[in-house]
Amino acid sequence: MKCVNFKLLLLLFLAITSCSKDGDPVDPTDDTGGTPNPPPTTPTAIDLNAYANGSGVMMQAFYWDVEPRFGWWDLLSEKVEGWADAGVDRIWLPVASKGNSGGYSMGYDPSDYFDFGEYNQHGTVETRFGSREELENLIAKAHENDLEVIADIVLNHNSGGGLEYNPYREKETYTLFNEENGNASGMFNRNYEDFHPNSTSQSDAGNLFFAEQDVDHDVPYVQDWLWKKENSVAKYYKNVMGFDGWRFDYVKGFAPWVVKAWNDEVGGFSVGENYDGNAAVLEKWVEESGSAAFDFAAFYKMEEAFDRFQDLTYLERDMLRKTYPEKAVTFVANHDTEKDENQDNRISRVHKLQSYAYIMTHDGYPTVFYLDYEDEQFKAKIQQLIKIHNSIATGDVEVLYVDNDEYIMKRKGDVSNPGLILYISNSNGKKTRAVTSNWTNVTLMDYSGNSTYYPTSDGNGEVTIEAPANGFSIWSITK
């Protein structure tokens, strides 16, 4: 009987030590009864700057209805140096040209593509964000700090034109854009022939967004003014204003070939807003447009994993970053998800840092939302995550373990970069788990700063790591 009991106890002990548990971690190399043996001194962190991997992150440099009105460009000019120091390599600006709403416009009701705050129309000279001179100063300041500047481009629809009789609709429509009607610059004047329906085509291949001011990209005149002519929108923005790349608004409203034609003409970084959580839809669009896309599939899987269902297995579902990591622009929040107290399409504040930890450690190109970065409760944590992303978030992605409240992922690094292990927990208590790392006989530390535990891997790379309650940790080697 004693022999049987001893075997049962041994099996029970092995089962317990091989599983995750709440509470303090157990060092598998320790033989003192489960109390970890800390190193005699606190390990020394590696210098993350020494592992710079050439990556950066993009800052979405606005939110819906930014304040102060008429002072936004100047405010951003004061911030770009700090953003560059933090590891940001691109800033995405709001739509820079004059909209129908004048001084209140966020730019998504475009009227005059060439009015950057210098013509008196729609009740204002400056745009909501400031004057043309202030915009040019911002772009110059960004370039001085090696930041690319991304222009938000709205090609689907126009607003603010004058009334004219439209024979294709047999009524008057607001489709007349000239010096007296919403286009004071006199460049790219338009009339009903430039909008659907007309003598060229009836509609886009995609959905109509503004039924009466839906731009027809099949019209040669429209193509000339948008991207072909030497003073087209694309070439003027790049060669005169100094923009380096493009964020295309509402690409569901027109065919992917439009984005491809634009990029073939002027080049530069580009990303499309294809507002769809279906990864297959995003994959098809990047294949046809040749452009990167915001990974709405990843966004919704994070929202489901952390908030809606509180089940981290949703992080195993399809995302653009899993099939086209080089074309996936990941994000946690943007101007649409955060406006008007929109609760159905946002990641809750309590789970934002876990979500940033996810996008900053996985493949894809991360975007940081202005309001999140400038939040003093988040800022230092996001800055550290950017530093981690730009250094040791390297190599193939391998999910080591996932269940409803644990997610552990390894970036394998390379011959000169150690990589990392991310551990996210949705549990109300601290979690621990033994995993197989790429590191043998080395002491690890959590570079997120959320844990002060210093485990040591064994000769096979086995190591027990921990994650704080409803939090995350990011592990890598020490000196």
The architecture (CATH level 2) of 20-48+398-477 comes to Sandwich (2.60)
**Helix residue spans in 350-440 (DSSP H):** 352-361, 370-373, 379-389
Domain boundaries, the chain: 20-48+398-477, 54-394
Query: In angstroms, what is the C-alpha Rg of the chain?
Result: 26
Task: Categorize the per-residue pLDDT at 39 as very low, low, confident or very high, splitting at 50, 70 and 90.
Answer: low
- Choose between 21 and 435: higher pLDDT: 435
- Choose between 13 and 252: higher pLDDT: 252
Residue by residue, DSSP assigns 20-80 as -EESS---TT--SSS-----SSPPPBP-GGGG--S--EEEE---TT-SSTT-HHHHHHTTH
Q: Is pLDDT of 8 > 80?
A: no
Residue range 371-427, pLDDT digits in tens: 999 999 999 999 999 999 999 999 999 999 999 999 999 999 999 999 999 999 999
Q: Are 311 and 36 in contact (CB under 8 A)?
A: no
Average pLDDT (263-285) is: 98
Residue 206 dihedral angles phi and psi, to the nearest 5°:
-90, -155
Identify the pLDDT of residue 340: 79
Identify the pLDDT of residue 327: 98
Q: Tell me what percent of the residues of the chain surpass a pLDDT of 70.
A: 90
Q: Is pLDDT of 272 > 60?
A: yes
Domain 54-394: assigned CATH number = 3.20.20.80
Q: Is pLDDT of 479 > 60?
A: yes
Do 54-394 and 20-48+398-477 fall under one CATH topology?
no
What is the overall mean pLDDT for the chain?
A: 92
Q: Strand pairing partners for 475?
A: 421, 446
* Residue reference for tokens 């004057």: 131
Task: Categorize the per-residue pLDDT at 36 as very low, low, confident or very high, splitting at 50, 70 and 90.
Answer: low
Identify the pLDDT of residue 341: 72
Average pLDDT (137-150) is: 98
> What residues have CB less than 8 Å from 292, skipping those under 6 apart?
269, 270, 271, 272, 286, 326, 327, 328, 329, 365
Average pLDDT (251-257) is: 95
